[in-house]
Amino acid sequence: MTSQRHPVNPLELASFGPVIPVIVVDRVEDAVPMAKALVAGGVRVLEVTLRTAAGLPAIAAIAREVPDAIVGAGTVRGGADVHAAHEAGARFIVSPGYTKAVGDACKSLGVALLPGVSTGSEIMMAADDGFTFLKLFPATAVGGIPLLKAFSGPFADIAFCPTGGVTVETAPQFLALPNVKVVGGSWLTPADAMKSGDWARITELAKQASAIR
């Protein structure tokens, strides 16, 4: 099913709150109650990864049944993934790295892309193709806050969403940097809460994330 909702501008993703949850769905039936729990806690932008077989059908279910959610696909690694995610209803794409094939596929479909980078060369390649809001990944492993501070000099026109190792405790430190617009985090949907269907806990974690400044 192709989503009939309008695509989002990449930087618009940062306007809905300080944290974009990075979500792994193992059971399709968990997708809708999980998404509703996050939205109830004030988190509307949801990155559902394609790391499991449930990823694409979960995106489709959320796009169809949770209209207040802005659902996107993460762990997108090629053009075929882009097309499949868009067909499922994803309104934005997040990739762990950057390739021209992924960039071109997103451009051809008019879907927002938040491409992953970890080096100056990757930033330059993405920027050459018109992408200036990028995901630093895996953020803490590649240098975290010191690296982002270093990037602010030569890449003053680039904004980042650091993802990978960011926690509720460190998120405010990342968000305090002028070149960070939003952070990605997996702590909002912990595996044990997903497995047990503890949606109230996920709502509380979403409320906590929404309050980060």
Q: Which residues are catalytic?
A: 47, 135
Q: What is the CA radius of gyration of the chain?
A: 16
Pair type for strands 112-117 and 133-136: parallel
Q: What are phi and psi of 175, to 5 degrees?
A: -65, -20
Q: If you write DSSP's letter for every residue of 32-66 in order, what string do you get?
A: HHHHHHHHHTT--EEEEESSSTTHHHHHHHHHHH-
Q: If you write DSSP's letter for every residue of 111-179 in order, what string do you get?
A: -EEEEEE-SHHHHHHHHHTT--EEEETTHHHHTHHHHHHHHTTTTTT-EEEEBSS--TTTHHHHHTSTT
> Which amino acid is located at 125 in the chain?
M
Nearest C-alpha neighbor of 117 from the set 134, 105, 101: 134
Write out the two tokens for 4. Answer: 């009939």
Write out the two tokens for 47. Answer: 């990155």
Taking the alpha carbons of 169, 77, 116, 210 in that order, is the dihedral positive or negative? negative
